[in-house]
Amino acid sequence: MIVEIVSTGTELLLGQIVNTNAPYMARRLNEIGFDVLFQSTVGDNRVRMTQVLSTALARADIVITTGGLGPTQGDITKEVSAELLGRPMQLHAPSLENIKRFFASRRLTMPDNNIRQAMFPEGAIVLDNARGTAPGAVIEADGKTVIHLPGPPHEMEHMLENAVIPYLRERFELQGTILSKVLRTFGLGESSLEERIKDYIKNQGNPTIALLARNAEIHVRLTAKASSDAEARALIADLEGRLRAHIGEYIFGEDEDTLEAVVGRHLAAQNLTLALAESCTGGLVSSRLTDVPGSSAYLAGAVVCYSNEVKTSAVGVPAEIIAAHGAVSGETAIAMAEGIRDRFRTDLGIGITGIAGPGGAVPGKPVGLVFIAIAGPSGTKCFGYNLTGPRSFIRHRTALAALNHLRQYVLGVI
């Protein structure tokens, strides 16, 4: 069954609120086997809403709306669908009584305009709202199903889970399941990663493959449709195994994994401790690591050493190294990593130095020049980058690169 989600409300188009309803509904509907192939957003305008709903009804079996079920003149979703389906609006007395009780329980007088919330297209199945005054509705007409849900997320989610999903399961029987798994990668650009698995992308079927760029990471989403969760997982596992043969070295985690959480697990598993000396990242790597609960087990401490004086006094970088090579150099990064490891008596030390911009560039050392060094039992490794972009991106990209190199170092692949 093809589903279209239509989110209504001019505030969505103006960017005044973030639409969290659509992704929540899409995820849940896919989990029970319904194909959400379209999503639309439309403001509180009769003409445009009529056009959007007409288009949705032409291309989907089930149209689910959110929003526009309130008491004001701008809440027109039910009225527009009633006109499209040729159904007159009628008062639903039980809903009106529920709304009156809602106000009475709070010792409030119900405004007359709340009666609008008890009006429904003729023949609608009314869905009670246990968390607000706006009931939902299901309307079946000419082989199509229109479902109206309230806009507030806590009301929509409750009604979806407790009324709509049970209705869909009973009305349309078992639709199977749609499962997705995300392989999170770092270190390859989107086009380079695609080049390595292009044959699988060109010949994809079930499961499907999608590449998604997300904050300097590339996510590979595998989606399978099957009659059961077990069958879908088996399909994904087979394709994943083949993809890992081509891009496995760049995959750091799955689904909701973050680099800092993955690194933390590896450090904890090997009982390794870590200290950091951060210059251009200003403590960003340390901050990400301490976002992970339990990070005190492996992170001993860190120094933000922006100035050369602090690099020397707090981290132990010899002044002659900075004088000879500059603060932004591989030699200084190595001295920072080794110095912080020695000062904190840890298994591993990381040193990061660079020019995040927009100023600070000198001849031969442009904005975006970054060095990351890791000192540990396997020796000291240093990596240089020439990054482009605004200051925030350079710092973010550097932090991820440092975490990824730490992961690789601990795993023994560098």
At residue 408, φ and ψ (nearest 5 deg) are -65, -40
Same domain, 165 and 184: no
Q: Residue 19 sits in a domain of what CATH number?
A: 3.40.980.10
Same domain, 215 and 276: no
Same domain, 154 and 198: no
Question: What pLDDT is stored for residue 174 in this prediction?
Answer: 66
Question: Of 172, 199, 223, which closes a domain?
Answer: 172
Question: What pLDDT is stored for residue 176 in this prediction?
Answer: 83
Q: Residue 108 carries which side chain, given as an amino acid letter?
A: L
Q: Kindly report the length of the chain.
A: 414
Q: Residue 258: which residues within 8 A CB-CB, separation 6 or more?
A: 288, 292
Indicate left, alpha or beta for 157 from its phi (over 0: left) and psi (-120 to 50: alpha). Answer: alpha
Q: Taking Cα atoms as reference points, which of 82, 90, 89, 66 lies closest to residue 6?
A: 66
Q: What angle do CA 358, 359, 361 make, to 5 degrees?
A: 115
Q: Residue 278 sits in a domain of what CATH number?
A: 3.90.950.20
Same domain, 131 and 196: no
**Hunting for tokens 């090579």 — which residue is that?**
325
**Hunting for tokens 């710092």 — which residue is that?**
395
What's the whole-number average pLDDT of the chain? 96
Residue 78 corresponds to which tokens in the numbers above?
A: 């039910």
370, 375, 379, 380 alpha-carbon torsion, rounded to 10°: 20
Residue 116 corresponds to which tokens in the numbers above?
A: 């609008």
The residues of the chain scoring below 50 in pLDDT are none
Rg (CA), the chain: 28
Indicate the number of domains in the chain. 3
Question: What pLDDT is stored for residue 341 in this prediction?
Answer: 98
Question: What pLDDT is stored for residue 175 in this prediction?
Answer: 73
**Hunting for tokens 């709304």 — which residue is that?**
99
Distance CA 178, CA 27 (A): 9
Give the Å distances, CA to CA, from 71 to 24, 68, 92, 123, 177.
Answer: 25, 9, 15, 21, 37
Find how far residue 155's CA is from the centre of its chain: 22
Question: Of 138, 172, 206, which closes a domain?
Answer: 172
Same domain, 196 and 268: no
Same domain, 353 and 398: yes
Question: What pLDDT is stored for residue 48 in this prediction?
Answer: 98
Q: Residue 243 sits in a domain of what CATH number?
A: 3.30.70.2860
Same domain, 237 and 265: no
Same domain, 188 and 160: no
Same domain, 211 and 351: no
Same domain, 195 and 159: no
Model confidence pLDDT, tens digit, residues 62-82: 999 999 999 999 999 999 999
Same domain, 269 and 227: no
Question: Of 142, 172, 202, which closes a domain?
Answer: 172
Same domain, 226 and 142: no
Indicate left, alpha or beta for 40 from its phi (over 0: left) and psi (-120 to 50: alpha). Answer: beta
Domain with 343, as residue range(s), is: 259-411
Q: Residue 360 carries which side chain, given as an amino acid letter?
A: G
